Structure 1
Amino acid sequence: MSIKEIGKISITILMDNSTDLLLKNSAHALRSPLIMNEKLNLPPPTAEHGFSALINIVKDDSNSGNKNLTENIDGNTNYTYLFDTGVTEDGVIHNADLLGIDFSNINGILLSHGHFDHSAGLVNILKRISSKRLSSIDVFLHPDAFLRRWLVLPDGRKARMPSLDERQLISLGGSIHKSDKATILPNKENPFLLMTGQIPRRTSFEKGFPYQYAENSDNNNSEDDDNNGNERSLNLVPDPLVRDDQAIVVNLRNKGLIALTGCGHAGIINTLNYAKDLTGVDKIYAIIGGFHLPADGGIYEEAMDPTIKEIQNADPEYVIPCHCTGWKATNRIIDLMPDKFIQSAVGTTFTF
């Protein structure tokens, strides 16, 4: 599946687990400033345990100038997508407003998977968009993103995770595109961005999310009780693979692939390998997003060393861990790949 090379990409972090107004700008990172117009930039962008990024793709950067991130360049040579929507209803909107970002002009919304820390802001973002434009907004996601899921811990504690309601999204102007296959955007005539679809699991050390269970199909609806008002009995089935987990991939001209992940439940190495398979491009230029390697004393910590070793073997120019990567894994990356590491923070725009 071939995707065309792009001239430039900007990725603005609208939600992540950390915020920092003291970070300095660098060649590829424009930071949220401490001072604007002789005033302190307060309140600062908010950090939460979630993820969201605005992606701006420029087909040819020769005349791109300093256009607004959501303003289409003449000839429609750029495309803008919102990737994930954070963990609270209004956190991403709050940060977008601080950064002067208008969602009404974006080309679509892409969900890495259905977990609440990536989808909770979707409803209010759709409301914001529908208040400013008459046309619907495309929302791309895997069918399993709508599953009703539970977190079941080894000690028996369990809790339902918030889930998406497809009918509600449609009522708010969302045009829903569900697919477990790779998706080319904006269209086949202009194949500049790849949504991987369901990612094959091949490595032995990337084990998904074993604490996740899903309600079976009889329970998997938007109602908690039957038509008589009786609470439904639960039939939970193991759902460890998070099949809806997918990534965004672009091919930067003369550089290689840039992969953007949400949580990376499929495994960042599985994701990179599949990106290569889909595109036929072997060079990984940059990796950005959540790698899901928390220091949990269990399977994720066991996966930390082999995962980072394989990232080293992939030899990207830049590694930007975000969200659920975890401090221990992030510091391991800093120690082993100091020249490749760039720190993420809410409000940062990475440009390549």
Structure 2
Amino acid sequence: MCSGDEPVGTTAPRAAPGPAVDPIALEPVDEVVITTLVDNLFDALLTGRDGVARVPMSTGLVSAPQFEDGATVAGLRAEHGFSALVTVRRGTTSTTLLFDTGVSPDGMVDNADRLGVDLGDVQGVVLSHGHWDHTGGLAALAGRRGGLPMTLHPLVWTRRRLAVPGADPVELPTLSRRALEAEGFAVVERRQPSLLVDGCVLVTGEVDRTTDFERGMPPPHQAWDGATWQHDPLVLDDQALVVHVRGRGLVVLTGCGHAGAVNIARHAMRLTGVDRLSALLGGLHLSGPAFEPIIAPTVAAFTELAPDLVVPGHCSGWRAQHALAAALPDAFVPSSAGTRYTLAAA
């Protein structure tokens, strides 16, 4: 377990017994399509299934003069980051949001180009949290699609570092509000839940920490409080995107899941009053020795929730992926950049 000198659970925002005091009326949609633009893995040999479309082997033609035709197939870029395109449809009206932007300045845009995705269709940006591997692609996005509204938690601007014992501390890149606004983004800060797209998309805001095992980041993850560096276990800016697909239940998309994947799913269900989890996609942050001890209770919780689709990507780790695949073989789908997931109303 990842714990410091203090009982991390005592610093959680608040307990959440019973139904939500301030429930969210999340409007159901007829369809949601989630396309992974950036992930840690790209595998052109993966096969799809109903509702899961993989990228063709021929995707990503790039210049390469050593070949007879002067080009080769490059596929998509895989990098330690996450970004997804989310399109929700109600009737004949569709709206597209960008959830996170990957780690490199040009990786997300490059993959979008190789996929034939028109970023001009994007109508807003949602940031899951402030870590650089989810915000790095904002640089190239600004050159393609200026003036977009951007929903985020006010703590995304927090200075953070990794101070591993025996090594020099490494300060992480810190997002700049001044720079984003100078590039034309309309920043909307929210600690509370936000409803977007005429009430069809929920951004969770701060997530209630209610499990006894999801204790957050280990002591080397630190934040600057204005005077000194302090252990930052909770990453309070962590939030998820939620859609209610009519007749199927909630679709939950996470960036890293720093709030805890089980906490996030339960929080979404409690906020909306929807008692069915249809799908969980994104980073679950279960990789490495600090988090592997909580794989078993996490898998047990999701086995009980029994979603139709589970796609652990980015920072989930191979051990967690194998455990989820074994426990939920019909729901598990391996993540890969470029994959399109379609969930339609029942």
For the aligned pair, the TM-score class normalised by the smaller chain equals 0.7 to 0.9
Structure 1 counterpart of 2:28, one-letter code: E
* 8 Å CA contact retained: 1:20, 1:345: yes
1:263 is the counterpart of 2:256: yes
The aligned residue for residue 136 of structure 2 is 120
1:208 is the counterpart of 2:216: yes
Matches of 2:105 and 2:216 in 1, distance apart?
A: 26
Structure 1 counterpart of 2:80, one-letter code: H
* 8 Å CA contact retained: 2:30, 2:246: yes
SS in 2 for 1:251: strand
In the TM superposition, residue 18 of structure 1 has moved relative to its aligned partner by 0.5
* 8 Å CA contact retained: 1:13, 1:54: yes
* 8 Å CA contact retained: 1:35, 1:41: no
Q: Given the superposition, is the C-alpha separation of residues 96 and 36 from structure 1 closer, same or farther in structure 2, using an over 3 Å criterion? A: closer
1:343 is the counterpart of 2:334: yes
Matches of 2:134 and 2:59 in 1, distance apart?
A: 30
Q: How many residues align?
A: 311
Matches of 1:314 and 1:36 in 2, distance apart?
A: 36
The aligned residue for residue 227 of structure 1 is none
Matches of 1:304 and 1:101 in 2, distance apart?
A: 35
The aligned residue for residue 315 of structure 2 is 324
Q: Encode CA deviations 1:144-192: one digit per residue, 9 max, x unaligned.
A: 1011111122445410000111010001010000111100002xxx210
The aligned residue for residue 57 of structure 1 is 88
The aligned residue for residue 34 of structure 1 is 57
Q: Given the superposition, is the C-alpha separation of residues 21 and 272 from structure 1 closer, same or farther in structure 2, using an over 3 Å criterion? A: same
Match of 2:304 among 299, 307, 313: 313
SS in 2 for 1:206: coil
Matches of 1:271 and 1:51 in 2, distance apart?
A: 18
1:152 is the counterpart of 2:160: no
Structure 2 counterpart of 1:184, one-letter code: L
In the TM superposition, residue 41 of structure 1 has moved relative to its aligned partner by 7.5
In the TM superposition, residue 239 of structure 1 has moved relative to its aligned partner by 1.5
User: TM-score, normalised to structure 1's length?
Assistant: 0.85
Structure 2 counterpart of 1:50, one-letter code: G
* 8 Å CA contact retained: 2:100, 2:255: yes
Matches of 1:332 and 1:157 in 2, distance apart?
A: 34
Matches of 1:250 and 1:261 in 2, distance apart?
A: 12
1:141 is the counterpart of 2:132: no
Matches of 1:301 and 1:157 in 2, distance apart?
A: 25
Q: Encode CA deviations 1:206-262: one digit per residue, 9 max, x unaligned.
A: 0111232111236xxxxxxxxxxxxxxxx2122210000000001001000010000
* 8 Å CA contact retained: 1:33, 1:41: no
Matches of 1:31 and 1:244 in 2, distance apart?
A: 32
After superposition, the CA RMSD in angstroms is 1.7
In the TM superposition, residue 106 of structure 1 has moved relative to its aligned partner by 1.1
User: TM-score, normalised to structure 2's length?
Assistant: 0.87
The aligned residue for residue 226 of structure 2 is 217
Matches of 2:117 and 2:326 in 1, distance apart?
A: 35
